[in-house]
Amino acid sequence: MALRLQNRLKSTGAPPLVYSNRTLKRGEALKAEGAIPVDDFRAVVESTDVIFTMISDDAVLNDLVEQALSLESIQGKLFMDTSTVHPSTCSAVAKVFQGKGAYFIASPVFGASPVAAAGKLIFAMAGPQDQISRVSPYIQGVMGRQIINMGADVQKSSLLKISGNIFVIGFQELIAEAQVFAEKTGLGTGRMEEFLGGMFGPVLESYSKRMTSGAYAPPLDTPPGFAISLASKDIRHALAIAEESGCQLPTLATALNRTTMAREYAGEWLDSSSVYGIARIEAGLPFWSEKSRQGN
């Protein structure tokens, strides 16, 4: 996302992107394109008027907000978070920034890393409408292919993202069970995957490939596509909201149980699709497949 934004700024002669990260060396590709690294988030906020954040969980976002509030003034600055956090967190952050004369847009994104690299993400944006117009030129055709305007209530975009993840995680859970079924019955995972692609398209086929290729438990030098810790956080948000709303998400409850068991069994360096490994154990198969890291 950041690289595509920097390339657009560079091509239009605009000032370069200023960036920071918990591991700053991960921004070397940005630096090579002319973006400016700084040591911490406060320096990012001080040097620009439009600030994008992408973080792992609600606690990190709250910490960044505190850092921003410690500055003498953030009047007129626009903060746009593209992470998946609880709706109540979005509401609280928006209220705090409004009290300081700043603006907040909650804009979680839909799409994995390859989609981001292609600039094809979907942005669910909620917040002050004039500020959405202000930031849209940096989104449409740059980092994203579509903006879903969720209105002024920042909780709505968060709810949409969490709802979307019900599908993502639910599909992964169902495919894991189907692929274990295919292996145990002798149908074969290859035939099942061919059917998934033909019947339901490339997205569900790609979820299956994360399991059959062994990417659910990738080598320790290869980052997971959707880290299991983030998936577990998103599942907990969905289950908590469902309970508050008086409804149930039994498929996600099963997925949470399996992600918890996977983390206990194989550690944190797992993809969200590692529910497949636990489904395998429950069917009398090993957690690791021939193509996962322990099978190589």
Cα 272-119-207 angle, rounded to 5 deg:
25
N- to C-terminal Cα separation, the chain: 33
Chain segment 22-40, per-residue pLDDT in tens: 899 999 999 999 999 999 9
Of 121, 51, 117, 122, residue with least CA distance to 80: 51
Place of tokens 């007129």: 76
Three-class SS of residue 42?
A: helix
More confident residue, 70 or 295: 70
pLDDT at residue number 112: 82
What is the Rg, in whole angstroms, of the alpha carbon atoms belonging to the chain?
A: 20
**What pTM value is reported for the model?**
0.90
For the chain, give the mean pLDDT.
96
Chain segment 172-186, per-residue pLDDT in tens: 999 999 999 999 999
Three-class SS of residue 23?
A: coil
Ordered by where they begin, the domains of the chain are 2-152 (3.40.50.720), 159-295 (1.10.1040.10)
pLDDT over 70 percentage in the chain: 100
**Across 134-153, average pLDDT:** 96
pLDDT over 80 at 296, yes or no = no
Chain segment 88-111, per-residue pLDDT in tens: 999 999 999 999 999 999 999 998
Chain segment 211-251, per-residue pLDDT in tens: 999 999 999 999 998 999 999 999 999 999 999 999 999 99
Burial class (CB in 10 A: 0-12, 13-18, 19+), 133: exposed
Helices (H), 118-249: 129-135, 154-185, 189-200, 202-212, 228-245
pLDDT at residue number 193: 97
The residue length of the chain stands at: 296
